[in-house]
Amino acid sequence: MRSSSNVSARIFTACLMASLSFSIFAEGACDGAEYSHGISHLLPVKYPAEFTHFDFTNPDAPKAGTMRVPQMGTYDNYNSVIEKGRLAAGFDITGGLVYDRLYEPSIDEPVARYGRLAEGMAIGPDTAWIAFKLRKDAYWHDGEPITPEDVVYTYETFKEHGSVALKTALDDIEEVFAFGDWEICFVRDPTVEVNPTLPYTVGIYSILPKHYWESRDITVTTTEAPLSSGPYRLKRGEIGRVLEFERVDNYWGRDIPVNKGRYNFDIVKFDYFKDDNVMGEAHKSNVFDVREEGVSKNWATFYDFPAVAAGLFKRDLRPLSRVEGLWWPLFWNVEREPLNDIRVREALWLLFDFKWTNKVLFYDFYNTGISFFQNSPMAHQGLPSEKELELLEPWRDQIPERVFTEPFTHPYSSGVGVQRENLKRAVALFKEAGFEVQDGFMRNTETGQPLALDIIGVSYYAVRQMLSLRQNLRKVGIANKATAPEVSNWLFRSRNGQFDGNTNRFGPSNTPGIQLRNWLGSEAAGQDYGQNWIRVRSPVIDSLIDSVNQATTAEDLYAATRALDRVIMWNFFFVPLGSQPGFRLVHWDKFGEVKTDTVNRVPFIDAWWWDEEKAKRVEEGIAQLESSE
């Protein structure tokens, strides 16, 4: 047995080494930083140092008019730092309408950032540090300059008083300090794994005014709009009902490249609704201007009123350059028997009819979901490439053979009636796995125990989309129960593995490494409040996720994600449903925009502009329709 003194000495030595490691790591951090106007993950930046505006903006757009946007629910708080209360629209912690942040994402590139409050950015070796050089001409709405002290105060406040999401996002940051000529240094904790996404998230948050908050309590909610610095300020707020923002004429950042041609409306107004149907009718009545339609049935049937026929109201499906992933697929808890058997999971996959589901329940809106990274270069394509095979071959004996020989797709379906061949194949697979239909029930051939499945979903719609699966389960003698418990209960059961099947939204980012580890990594399986609800523990998947995290080129990243994609899909952890084909945009046609399908969102608030001629046409057209009724 080791003596306690030896153990204590070892602990002391380990702590000392960790301390020395940090001292060495932090010493000289950000020294000699070579600043760039923009940064991009694995790919070169699209815009050169001399760029004047983003391609999706119009630098000559007029500053005029009003943009009216709906919000669901209510609000009672303007403090975005904490979790308490319901935050008002426009006060988002990632900029919103009223604040500025260190850099601005380019929405027509996968992962790129350009300076906003910062005029330059630099990343240290192995992401040991991230440095920013601030502009000296930025100021708060009260005329006070935005200083390095404001930035340090902001991040110290986030780490001490911020929401769980904020603290988690910044957990890798060990220290933030000001140095040099209006420069800020973020030092990464050397004891944690390198997160390649850190430089692209650390500067995305709203910077707060130290001189304002020093005399106020930032740990409580507030209905007093805080001092801010952004393109808009709050003009009027009726708690829970209306928010009206006015454009700041002398906004310091109006003409910097990331803002040129943006924030064009004199007024941005948010109206709050508590019912989707009421909101839809209000839109038809011209109470507000633009929104995304979230219901497939409405998209197919709701927009046939006279203003649409007259060309005054538009219904546009906008393709977006974003990772769509899988739209609320069914997934299995592979920690439970017999769901730990790939043959059983494949049989269940065969019993789901996506084509019928899409046609009957979703009005043929969705694309067929075949990839965890759908609508991106990260998705598998054809058969594995040489670089993919380099990652897959060492694990060949632990990988389904079809990973190497077939691209993943859904089983054949005519979309009409029972798919008998799929049922036959499913029954055969159940038999291989030790289950047969006896007396009308699918039973374990050794124990006689009937097979039954307990499936949960976050909502009625999540359960409804399983209709074809549940019908076919009954046809082969498998009892099943599908419920949508109250959300907190759904979360509890999801986190604790108290289900057989479940649904969730899987939409990876363009830098998915840490996400993937949380969703599919072995360490996250069964972890308290972990996100690996599938509870998969696979050295193959862990290795491929490591390859995603360690990629130093786009080619390496795509090889790793495509290889992982094949392994995930051919293991039938998911019964994939559909994938969104784009953004369902519905709006009154009174605005100008730079139309492009290279963006990852539709920037109607921050890049559209008021078109006086179109607006007049809509106004006159509505009056004419009303007079003819």
pLDDT at 11: 35
What six digits make up the tokens of 77?
């708080």
The highest-confidence range among 390-399, 482-491, 504-513, by mean pLDDT, is: 390-399
CATH (domain of 97): 3.40.190.10
pLDDT at 26: 62
What six digits make up the tokens of 72?
């669901």
What six digits make up the tokens of 42?
């694995």
pLDDT at 227: 97
Percent of the chain scoring above 70 in pLDDT: 96
Q: Are residues 193 and 309 in the same domain?
A: no
Q: Are residues 276 and 237 in the same domain?
A: no
* Interhelix angle 420-432/467-475, nearest 10 degrees: 60
pLDDT at 528: 73
Domain-located, residue 5? no
Which is more confidently placed, 417 or 594? Answer: 594
Domain-located, residue 24? no
Q: Are residues 410 and 341 in the same domain?
A: yes
Give the span between the Cα atoms of 52 and 228, in whole angstroms.
Answer: 25
Domain-located, residue 515? yes
Domain-located, residue 262? no
Task: Give per-residue pLDDT as tens, 317-347.
Answer: 999 999 999 989 999 999 999 999 999 999 9
Is 344 strand, coil or helix?
helix
Domain-located, residue 257? no
pLDDT at residue 514 greater than cutoff 90: no
Domain-located, residue 232? yes
**Cβ 384 vs Cβ 568: under 8 Å:** no
Q: Are residues 143 and 156 in the same domain?
A: yes
> At 22, is the pLDDT very low, low, confident or very high (cuts 50, 70, 90)?
very low
Task: Give per-residue pLDDT as tens, 42-66.
Answer: 999 999 999 999 999 999 999 999 9
Q: Are residues 501 and 596 in the same domain?
A: no
Kindly give, in sequence order, each residue whose CB lies less than 8 Å from that of residue 328, ignoring residues fewer than 6 positions away.
Answer: 462, 465, 503, 504, 505, 577
Percent of the chain scoring above 90 in pLDDT: 88
Q: Are residues 590 and 566 in the same domain?
A: no
Q: What is the DSSP string of 172-204?
A: TEEEEEEETTTEEEEEE-TTS---TTGGGTTT-
Is 14 strand, coil or helix?
helix
Q: Are residues 68 and 161 in the same domain?
A: yes
Per-residue DSSP letter, 126 = G
Q: Are residues 276 and 229 in the same domain?
A: no
pLDDT at residue 185 greater than cutoff 90: yes
Q: Are residues 462 and 412 in the same domain?
A: yes
pLDDT at 164: 87
Give the span between the Cα atoms of 292 and 393, in whole angstroms.
Answer: 44
> At 13, is the pLDDT very low, low, confident or very high (cuts 50, 70, 90)?
very low
Task: Give per-residue pLDDT as tens, 129-138.
Answer: 999 999 999 9
Task: Give per-residue pLDDT as tens, 69-93.
Answer: 999 999 999 999 998 999 999 999 9
Choose the final residue of a domain: 206, 231, 247.
247
Q: Are residues 72 and 129 in the same domain?
A: yes
Domain-located, residue 366? yes
Q: Are residues 317 and 338 in the same domain?
A: no
What six digits make up the tokens of 452?
């039954």
Of 262, 335, 267, 315, the residue nearest 116 (C-alpha): 262
Please state the domain count of the chain: 3
What is the average per-residue pLDDT within 114-125? 97
pLDDT at residue 18 greater than cutoff 60: no
Q: What is the DSSP string of 386-438?
A: HHHHHHHGGGGGGS-THHHH----PPP--SSS--HHHHHHHHHHHHHTTEEEE
Domain-located, residue 205? yes
CATH (domain of 510): 3.10.105.10
Which is more confidently placed, 13 or 265? Answer: 265
pLDDT at residue 148 greater than cutoff 90: yes
pLDDT at residue 12 greater than cutoff 80: no
Q: How many helices (H) and strands (E) does the chain have?
A: 19, 25
Q: What is the DSSP string of 268-282?
A: EEEEEES-HHHHHHH
Which is more confidently placed, 472 or 165? Answer: 472
Q: What is the DSSP string of 87-116?
A: BPTT--TT-TTT--BSEEE-TTSSSEEEES
Give the span between the Cα atoms of 358 and 435, in whole angstroms.
Answer: 30
Per-residue DSSP letter, 73 = S
Domain that holds residue 623: 271-321+583-601+611-627
**Cβ 626 vs Cβ 312: under 8 Å:** no
Q: Are residues 99 and 226 in the same domain?
A: yes
Task: Give per-residue pLDDT as tens, 207-265.
Answer: 999 999 999 999 999 999 999 999 999 999 999 999 999 999 999 999 999 999 999 99
Q: What is the DSSP string of 476-543?
A: TT-EEEEE---HHHHHHHHHHT--SEEE--B---SS-HHHHHHHH-GGGBT-TT-SBTT----HHHHH
